[in-house]
Structure 1
Amino acid sequence: MSIKIGIVGATGYTGVELLRLLAHHPEAEIISVTSRNEAEIKLSEYFPSLRGQYDDLVFQHPEQACLKDCDVVFFATPNGIAMQEAPPLLAQGVKVIDLSADYRIKDVSLWQQWYPFTHSSPEWVAEAVYGLCELNRRTIANAQLVANPGCYPTCVSLPLIPLLQKQCLIDNQPVIADCKSGVSGAGRKASSSNLYAECSDNFKAYGISGHRHLPEIRQTLNHLHPQMGNNLVFVPHLTPLIRGMHATIYVQLKNGYNPAELIDEYYCDSQVVDVMPVGSTPETRSVRGANLCRISVQPAPENNTWIILSVIDNLVKGAAGQAVQNMNIMYGLDESCGLTFVPLLP
């Protein structure tokens, strides 16, 4: 099998991460990469790290690229692009994996409250499958359009899926997700808040009054346990890291349930989710560059709260790696095909 692939918006962090991962995928053949600003520039000149991998590929303007000849097209674009450019490809039978937020939230009116656009293809929102692989792999397998989840929603949702499916969380008790992200999560676009002098040697919370990933996480939680998402308290923080995401989640369970056992049972056969021994403290560097989520659980001392720790690389399992994992499921390949990278250390 040779999967002909196009990448729209290949000059951003998720775009170059897709290129890095797919360079070693045995079934991937990238035939088109697009960029409005870098058209006619060779990939290997723009990204020296890709020299020797894609020496013949040149960025094309989206209007000149033959994306309809692809089997699958990844949209590694800012929010608001895929909803305009994906429908013509979908109409021609091309599969689409969208790494933006355009098709993640099923309630279009809710989506428009959090994103400054009028949705231009709401008819495709209903058709899109939310690409959280560990939850929706059966529907992903038959999907034409996959909405790749956000990084925070992936990091927070993965350890909560087994608990919500067992309905073991105490109703009306808050689920607190205290999360930290590396600067690359903000994308490659120039911004004064992302300057080295602003981010280095600094740590801050943001989006406390409402982060755009909040309704996405709530949607997953409410799907598994009605109204549980409404109990979510989500506070993101920016850390002086390039890559990495860490979620510390506080939950209270009904008597008789052990979250460590439930999570370990759910992911016992997973190649992607590593449930560590009780009491472990996973580190962001333990997943750097790999399509992994590492989870550990421990009880809080002297009370009935459980502490769940979850770490991912926000550019891999939180974006490009999960997108490739979705592609593998869509084409009946092993989920980890082309994704068996050992994390980078140091």
Structure 2
Amino acid sequence: MRFTAKAGICAAATALAVGAFAPSASAQLANDWKFGKPFINQFKKVDVVASTVPANGDVNPYGVAVIPRSKDKLHKGDVLVSNFNNAGNLQGTGTTIVQISRDGNVRLFAQIDAGKLPGACPGGVGLTTALVVLRTGWVIVGSLPTADGTSATAQSGCLIVLDSKGEVRETFSGGGINGPWDMTAADNGGSVDLFLTNVLNGIVGGQPATTNQGTVLRLELKIEGNKPPALRKTTTIASGFTEQTDPTALIIGPTGVGLGRDGTLYVADTVASRIAAIPNAIGRMTNAGTGRTVTAGQHLNGPLGLAIAPNGNVLTVNGGDGNIVETNPLKKAQVAFRTLDGLGAGALFGLAVAPDNRGVYFVDDTNNELRLLH
């Protein structure tokens, strides 16, 4: 994915510069985030954990998910990363998920064959940022496939469900799933609510170039024993987000989602460079439209991946530059930002808070690496 930075929004001057809101007093150090201080300000450097390129040459890492429990091939604390492009760098054609340990050991978790899927997935396989690992060991990943890497051939795709051994067991398609782009989960073990953004509503064959039909769905799953998750109900809880086709970025639309402690779902509204809030996301039965604006503009520049920090703040990474931004949703204010090791426009996508809150994992699409801010 490649973005062009918007005028008026500049990266920080140095590779690891802390934003203007960072505390200046030396007393405000590593653990200050526990007392309402910005989470990212305690971290000093960025390190490369590992390459995300598997043996088949897939590139353009998108989704990032930390494994919560060990089971079969899944090891607690390891990170799964989904690849969106194939070895020819065609978007919407990546088929692999790699598993990376804390010390940088990499192995293939799954390579998905579009011809052997156990259910419908219109268009085939092109793995997106929509990637979650459930406590029960199920892995769910989105597919927004293309035939040639262009939006003209993009199709609606599906969600692909894999077991803890990396085997595909089922797919979810239709019912509002149309270009699944990013996802988070409220995981209660036997019951799971998935929150999924979609970016292809109203766009067929790459046209029109812009539409305001991006959605957020809540998918209610039931999990019993070793049976694959059963999809019980799908509800549209937000809609009206701008979607745009783009020759270099394929599609730009609502991306990252994260669930706050009070049940509010935060959405990275990429085209509008804003963070939206959808109240009562788990229980609501009505459509909240594009939600209420938490913050917009300023240091937000095409926000993509989104995660909730342990202090309740919202973390986003920009597509338009190499910055991570921290927003306090209660204050409706951006409280910190920093440039991630000099990475420019188009380098960032998925992110996740590392185990024990020791940093932030993120993917570098330019160099095809998993990195850690710590």
TM-score computed with the length of structure 1 as normaliser: 0.30
The answer to which structure has the higher strand fraction is: 2
Structure with the largest fraction of helix = 1
Could you tell me the TM-score, scaled by structure 2's length? Answer: 0.28
